[in-house]
Amino acid sequence: MTPLTLFSEPFARTGNIAGEGFRRLLGRPALGLLQTVIREALQNSVDAGPEGNSVEVKLRYRVLQGGELEQFKALAFPELPPGLSEQQTQISEDTETRSSSTGLLGSRLGIFEIADFNTSGLAGPTRADEISEVEDPDFVNFFRNVGAARDTNLGGGTYGYGKTSLYALSGCSTIIVDSQTTCAGQPVRRVMGCHLGNAYQNDHEGAPKRYTGRHWWGREDGDGGVDPVEGEEATQLANALGFPARDETLTGTTIAIIAPHIDEDAELSSDLVESVLWNFWPRMCATTPADRKISITLEVEGNRISIPAPEEFPPLDLYSKALAKARAGEGKPVESLRYKAKLGNLAIVHGLRSPRDGIAQKEGSLIPSHSAHIALMRPVELVVRYLPGEAYPSDRVEWAGVFICSDKPDIERAFADAEPPAHDDWIPDMLPKGREKTLVNVALREIRQEALTYAQPKSLAISSRQKGPSVAGTATKLGKLLGQTSSKGPGRRASGGGGGKRNKISISAPRFVKLDQIDHQLVAVFEADLINDGSDPEMQLHAAPQLVIDGSLEDAADFPAGYDVSLLDIRLEDGEAHPDQLSIGSKGGIVTCRVAMPEDVAASVKFTFWKGDEA
């Protein structure tokens, strides 16, 4: 089998981008390098999936040693470009390093592979100056060009800048790509390697010549350039290099990152699982349509790693519910009044905090221990970033939100253009002054406002004149949880059945007075003003505990364990305490109720008047 041939790119008369400049194009991603690579590669895999096809992705880390390593290097890297061989020699002499970055000249070599299936692969011509009327120029946009415009409607990324993260993860800035794809409508297999180095000067046929630092391993094209190995030779080479098996029915691409910056002593398996889940759970939910799903498998040094379903991996269970609501249009529309445009849909759900998976408990985990975030995404449903908000005061309750921007082309394009090369944020300042910048700014302002106020709605605020002496400290501790709320306005009134004279039997809305601690149980004390003209001596006052959820009152019986509230007693003035109701006769004055409650719920009281045994 013929090894690949090295080609080093010289500077053209009209100039080229130097290798070091190419590497800098990624900028400074807000994410870790491994997470950036996984996001970028899987975004492109999703974009490469033909409409109506689910996408399969395999992430694999393997280590080559001995004869397997020697064969790999002999076939893929029979010659190393200037600069790389010296760099790898120095790295391999570092005996203290056990990382896979021991490099191309060491005794062991790590390879991190990202393989997708049911995608279009790197299709089209292999030369940047050729035009195809059949396929998009994916091969040249990935290997040759820099910063190609997005060619996928409502797609997740581009082949332009973020691909540099693949080289950044490599300890030798080198990748090898195997793709089963099409060219001019015909199936073709392609294998090619690439290294990004620094610009340099070298002798060429007795004269100095400048080189960009970009190098390829492939086949000479007979015109002073290089093409990939193709056809049956490419299939045999891919098999010899140990890449996942493919045929004409298993279209797609395998990207092999050589000598990745991965610490083999670290928890690589858990890093991969949480990176996949935290970034791609919207495409992995049970409610995701089959043609939009992405199936991901993980393998580390021959061991298959299972990935939990998002619905079984807190807090993604809450995010999954929020996503379903946002998809169904059940959330809150985010709008621009100035441009009369709907910018997207925001849905937020809350629930009891579930115990975290062991993966999410390690130090530095991506998964928050207490969720209070909104996942921002475009219609492609890939997470751009998580916008943090105000958490509930207690870690027993948490919330999660999803915002999906509008799929109207002009609005979706504004959000896409606001993303940096790593697609990990929306930055309005990247847009020129005008409508698009305003739309993104308005959306982010409204989303931030929701994130900061969801756990403390204005309707639950306690006015300062109604706070007791100890309420300041209590409000600080419980935030939104103690408020004066009534579903019946300022009070309830009961009237007799006869005549034109209006009887005056009414009670005000309950107002919070203080918190007590009784036998390690938190007890909230409420008061209300009872007005009674004595016109109905059989009148009774009934009290029921209520939960305050999202600014409204809900019956405590409708909620699961963990939201338990109960009425301890009700009394009028200094009279006898009763379990839940009073026979008021002709009496009036201050009614006091005590409600037992956990620290992480908001409680109130609902009053109703009963006449005899009838409500």
Reduce the secondary structure of 159-194 to three states and give it as a string.
Answer: CCCCCHHHHHHECCCEEEEEEEEEECCEEEEEEEEE
State the pLDDT confidence band at 469, using cuts at 50, 70 and 90: very low
pLDDT of 25 higher than 90: no
pLDDT of 458 higher than 60: no
**Residue 145: which residues within 8 A CB-CB, separation 6 or more?**
128, 137, 159, 160
Average model confidence (pLDDT) across the chain = 82
Contact 401, 348 (CB under 8 A): yes
Rounded-to-integer distance, Cα 342 and Cα 379, Å = 14
Q: How far is residue 158 CA from its own chain's centroid? A: 19
pLDDT of 107 higher than 80: yes
What local confidence, expressed as pLDDT, does residue 490 receive? 37
CA distances to 40, 85, 145 from 17, rounded to whole Å, are 22, 22, 10
Phi (first) and psi of residue 227, to 5 degrees: -125, 165
Rounded-to-integer distance, Cα 460 and Cα 452, Å = 14
Preceding peptide of 457 cis, ω within 30°: no
**Residue 591: which residues within 8 A CB-CB, separation 6 or more?**
507, 527, 528, 529, 530, 541, 543, 570, 571, 572, 582, 607
Which burial class, exposed, middle or buried, applies to 194 when counting CB atoms under 10 A from its CB (0-12, 13-18, 19+)?
A: buried
What local confidence, expressed as pLDDT, does residue 91 receive? 52
Strands 294-300 and 55-65: parallel
Rounded-to-integer distance, Cα 559 and Cα 557, Å = 6
Q: What is the pLDDT of residues 387-403, one digit of tens each?
A: 999 998 777 789 999 99
State the pLDDT confidence band at 148, using cuts at 50, 70 and 90: low
Higher per-residue pLDDT: 406 or 574: 406
Higher per-residue pLDDT: 600 or 110: 110
Radius of gyration of the chain (CA): 33
* 3-state secondary structure (DSSP) of residue 523: strand
pLDDT of 33 higher than 80: yes
Task: Tell me which H or E stretch contains 416.
Answer: helix 409-417
Phi (first) and psi of residue 6, to 5 degrees: -85, 135
State the pLDDT confidence band at 444, using cuts at 50, 70 and 90: very high
State the pLDDT confidence band at 437, using cuts at 50, 70 and 90: very high
Mean per-residue pLDDT, 177-182: 97
Higher per-residue pLDDT: 592 or 134: 592
pLDDT of 163 higher than 90: no
Mean per-residue pLDDT, 534-558: 73
Contact 218, 177 (CB under 8 A): no
Share of residues in the chain with pLDDT > 70 (%): 79
Q: What is the pLDDT of residues 111-142, one digit of tens each?
A: 999 999 999 999 999 998 888 888 888 999 88
Which burial class, exposed, middle or buried, applies to 208 when counting CB atoms under 10 A from its CB (0-12, 13-18, 19+)?
A: exposed
Mean per-residue pLDDT, 552-573: 71
What local confidence, expressed as pLDDT, does residue 21 receive? 62
Rounded-to-integer distance, Cα 32 and Cα 365, Å = 11
Q: What is the pLDDT of residues 293-348, one digit of tens each?
A: 999 999 999 999 999 999 999 999 999 999 999 999 998 999 999 999 999 999 99
What local confidence, expressed as pLDDT, does residue 487 receive? 34
What local confidence, expressed as pLDDT, does residue 20 receive? 65
Which among 532, 541, 603 has a CA at the least distance from the CA of 567? Answer: 603
pLDDT of 472 higher than 50: no
Q: What is the pLDDT of residues 55-80, one digit of tens each?
A: 999 999 999 999 999 999 999 999 99
Rounded-to-integer distance, Cα 88 and Cα 99, Å = 13
Rounded-to-integer distance, Cα 509 and Cα 605, Å = 9
What local confidence, expressed as pLDDT, does residue 224 receive? 82
Contact 401, 451 (CB under 8 A): yes
pLDDT of 562 higher than 60: no
pLDDT of 593 higher than 50: yes
Rounded-to-integer distance, Cα 522 and Cα 598, Å = 6
pLDDT of 281 higher than 70: yes
What local confidence, expressed as pLDDT, does residue 549 receive? 57
Phi (first) and psi of residue 326, to 5 degrees: -65, -40
